[in-house]
Amino acid sequence: MPDPSKGSGDTSGGVSGALADGARTDAVDVFISYGSSEVALAREIRTHLDSGGYVCWMAPDDVAGPKSWAEQIVEAIAACKVMVVLVSSVSNASSHVSKEVDLAIEHGKAVLPVRLEDVVPSGALKYLLALAQWIDAFPGPIGPHADEVKRRVAAIVAPSDEAVVEREEIETPPVAKETAPARAAPVANRPWLKWVVLTAAVAVVAGGIVAVFLIIGNGGEPYEYGDDTRLDWLWDRCDSGDMASCDAMVEESAEGTDYAFFGETCGERVVGGGGCVERDVTTHAANYGDDPGLDELWDACNAGEMAACDELSSEAPSETEYARFGETCGDRTDGGGECAAPGGTDTPFMYGDDPFFDDLWDGCNGENFGACTELYELSPVGTEYEQFGGSCGGRTEFPQGCEPLFDGVGELDGLAEACAAGAMDACWTLYEVAPVGSEYEAFGLTCGGRTDGLVPCVFTYGDSPYLDELWNACANGEMEACDILYYDSPEGSEYEDFGWSCGWITEDGGNCAGS
């Protein structure tokens, strides 16, 4: 997730008032955790989950009201049913992502890692995700992979009913096949779809931490091609274009199985929903890779050519993944309208769409926070360009911009001056917001050249007014404040230890409000 402005929590009314007031997050299906530079990919995945009716929560999009950023994150994690964590080289280096996963495990939530690139969880995430099964969301466009994430979430949030509907024979099936049909990337080869019915919880105790992971099994129902003679026969007929067999397979198979999915998508020809005969689905190109011409339009649409999105929407067969991708302007909108702006020009929406806005994005992502303001003011309303600029590159709550980071002292030079003068909060903020590997980052890490960087500048009570207030609330028994203190503190600091241990009253911390 984006790095929150740690000093941005409004302390007016005190922490106890903030915990009591404001909207609570109490109906969340999916919490999405991600590295700060991956907000666009996180939103694409969210769009797919939203389309399935799941209530999602991610920062900064859902941060609202008087409560602090960190407080709302802690509450959303506690309320969610499953956490989707995007794993990459960026999230591997993010202390906030690892803390979010840690909190989810402490709350007993299911955690679904989604790899954005060919890396394995490292650092804290390597330990936290040791027992989790991940999904690969690469290579190629994120859309088809996001559909897999949605189906995986469906298996956890709404486990399949073991009851099977009464069967209606079409005709006597032949003898069972000995081998599966030859198809490119068959659904049956997707091992993650075996997560259908909750069967056990495995507790892993290490270093005083109890982590609960959900283990899913198939509950004994025929699940994938090869499990059932009749369903295999229906699968073959559906695969060859017999839509009545596709519909019959939906009726005769258990919800959440490979059989049901193949039938509901009419043999992977449409997005889903069943009713293949009624919808008059025919054999046609449906997904990326099926048709070179449509693939070319997909690639152009994905690169930001909105006219190509409109052409893809009109040229592709209806109710296919091609059509859906075009209708949503490359997963940029909810669909329902043209992607190209009036007059035939394309509306720049996200990074890569416009060189001028890209330059401002790069400056905002680096040390030029004036570029963030310019990007916010000049970019079209409702675009990711506007969101990135208005949130100071994902560092603050939209549309506050960059000012909350600096508290009136300017940009990175001002933070460096305040750090040099002894303001440890400024050193900490400088280290958090400075470009990785820059002299600014090194200056903040070493507390203005005062330390070797091994101990956080903001370390213990008295170093940060904001964290001191959380400490006081935690010491007074406000357990939610303890959780927020743990989340918001530098790694390895006494602030973090105090929050983790619920005010030094337990060795099994990290979830004080839920204890």
Q: What is the pLDDT of residue 30?
A: 93
- Check whether 304 has a pLDDT greater than 50: yes
pLDDT confidence band for 31 (50 / 70 / 90)? very high
Token pair of 306, please? 């909105």
pLDDT confidence band for 271 (50 / 70 / 90)? low
How confident is the prediction for the chain on average, in pLDDT?
72
- Check whether 61 has a pLDDT greater than 90: no
Tell me, what DSSP letter sits at residue 193? Answer: G
Q: What is the pLDDT of residue 372?
A: 79
Q: What is the pLDDT of residue 403?
A: 61
Q: What is the pLDDT of residue 305?
A: 79
Q: What is the pLDDT of residue 393?
A: 86
Burial 391-409 (b: 16+ CB within 10 A, else e): bbbbbbbbebbbebbbbeb
Residue of higher predicted confidence among 16 and 449: 449
The rounded distance, in Å, linking the Cα atoms of 468 and 242 is 68
Q: What is the pLDDT of residue 348?
A: 75
- Check whether 4 has a pLDDT greater than 70: no
The rounded distance, in Å, linking the Cα atoms of 191 and 147 is 15
Q: What is the pLDDT of residue 282?
A: 62
Look up tokens 């500048």; give the residue. Answer: 457
Q: What is the pLDDT of residue 370?
A: 62
The rounded distance, in Å, linking the Cα atoms of 311 and 460 is 59
- Check whether 171 has a pLDDT greater than 50: no
Residues of the chain with pLDDT > 90, as a percent, come to: 3
Burial 346-361 (b: 16+ CB within 10 A, else e): bbbbbbebbeebbebb
- Check whether 80 has a pLDDT greater than 80: yes
Q: What is the pLDDT of residue 411?
A: 66
pLDDT confidence band for 205 (50 / 70 / 90)? very low
- Check whether 18 has a pLDDT greater than 80: no
Q: What is the pLDDT of residue 92?
A: 80
Q: What is the pLDDT of residue 12?
A: 32
pLDDT confidence band for 311 (50 / 70 / 90)? confident
- Check whether 85 has a pLDDT greater than 90: yes
- SS3 string, 196-224, reads CEEEEEEEEEECCEEEEEEEEECCCCCCC
- Check whether 409 has a pLDDT greater than 80: no
Q: Taking the CA atoms of the chain, what radius of gyration do you get in angstroms?
A: 25
- Check whether 84 has a pLDDT greater than 90: yes
Residues of the chain with pLDDT > 70, as a percent, come to: 71
Any idea which fold 14-157 has?
Answer: Rossmann fold (3.40.50)
Mean pLDDT confidence for 348-370: 75
- Check whether 197 has a pLDDT greater than 70: no
With a CB cutoff of 8 Å and minimum separation 6, the contacts of 249 are 231, 234, 235, 238, 259, 260, 262, 263
pLDDT confidence band for 56 (50 / 70 / 90)? very high
> DSSP string of 368-397?
-HHHHHHHHHHSPTTSHHHHHHHTTTTTSS
Q: What is the pLDDT of residue 284?
A: 61
pLDDT confidence band for 220 (50 / 70 / 90)? low
The rounded distance, in Å, linking the Cα atoms of 37 and 3 is 10
pLDDT confidence band for 24 (50 / 70 / 90)? very low
Mean pLDDT confidence for 248-264: 87
What is the domain partition of the chain in residue ranges?
Answer: 14-157, 187-264, 292-332
The rounded distance, in Å, linking the Cα atoms of 467 and 486 is 10
Count CB neighbours of 64 within 10 A: 13
- Check whether 34 has a pLDDT greater than 70: yes
Q: What is the pLDDT of residue 342?
A: 39
pLDDT in tens, 469-515: 889 889 998 888 888 888 778 888 888 889 888 988 887 766 787 76
Task: Work out the end-to-end distance of the chain between its first and last CA atoms, rounded to an integer number of angstroms.
Answer: 26
Residue of higher predicted confidence among 281 and 421: 421
Q: Which helix (H) or strand (E) holds 229?
A: helix 229-239
The rounded distance, in Å, linking the Cα atoms of 104 and 74 is 9
